[in-house]
Amino acid sequence: MIGPVNSGNYLLVFARNPELGKVKTRLAKSIGEKKALEIYHHLLRKTKDIALKVSCFRVVCYSDFVDFNDLFDPTYFYKDEQYGEDLGQRMNNAITSSFEEGAERVVIIGSDCYDLTSTIIQSAFEALKFKDAVLGPAKDGGYYLIGMNSSNPTIFENKEWGSSNVLLDTLLSTKELGLSYELLETLNDVDTIDDLPKELKVGMTDQ
């Protein structure tokens, strides 16, 4: 990953490559793989739109390979690939690389939270001026956003990713390290058909 030196705020968008049968698998059990992929494309577009409204250096971190011809315009988004054994290692590696390049504050968001806004992301960067970490709690017990003002690998170690304890375990790690943190408002990730907002739910229930 190569970015501008001392650019201040880095926004890392963690995204899965949108391939049939590989995204929104829990949702696909209710509406089918094709419609689940369609939903994921909607989520990616929403994520792109809100990211563009934030004053920052933007990086899309792909799960499997860098896609240079997708909806993320390379004029506004640098593109990189995630690497690491699990989600924690991948996030830590991306954050560490960003700080090595000169970032002052790094925020990671996923591409599953339809209710996320540019205002919330901007508030995360603002919080990092005064706090060591910031987290956006998800209703399922995980988080839709995490931000740091320095690299702290311990925060991402020994976590049961995908479980309902991820947020709590992360907060415990933060406290054990003596780091200050701020919690943002709680939002809902789109994982099942019950999570779909009305805008996306219409016409999506038939397989």
Task: Check residue 202 and give its pLDDT.
Answer: 59
pLDDT digits (tens, 9 = 90+) for 26-83: 899 989 999 999 999 999 999 999 999 999 999 999 999 999 999 999 999 999 999 9
Q: pLDDT tens digits for 123-134?
A: 999 999 999 999
Backbone angles phi, psi at 92, to 5 degrees: -60, -45
The token duo for 196 is 């779909």
Q: What pTM does this model have?
A: 0.92
Give CA–CA dist 158/67, Å, rounded: 30
pLDDT band at 205 (very low <50, low <70, confident <90, very high): very low
158 vs 200, higher pLDDT: 158
DSSP one-letter code for 191: -
Domain ranges of the chain: 8-194
Please report the pLDDT score of residue 163 as a whole number. 86
pLDDT at 192: 85
Q: pLDDT value at position 4?
A: 45
Cα–Cα distance for residue pair 128/149, rounded to 1 Å: 6
Q: What is the CATH number of domain 8-194?
A: 3.90.550.10
pLDDT of 195 reads 87
Task: Give the helix/strand (H/E) hosting 28.
Answer: helix 25-31
The rounded mean pLDDT for the chain is: 91
Tell me the per-residue pLDDT of 161-176, one tens digit each, with 9 for 90 and over. 988 899 999 999 999 9
The confidence score (pLDDT) of residue 193 equals: 87
Which structure tokens are listed for 76?
Answer: 């506004």
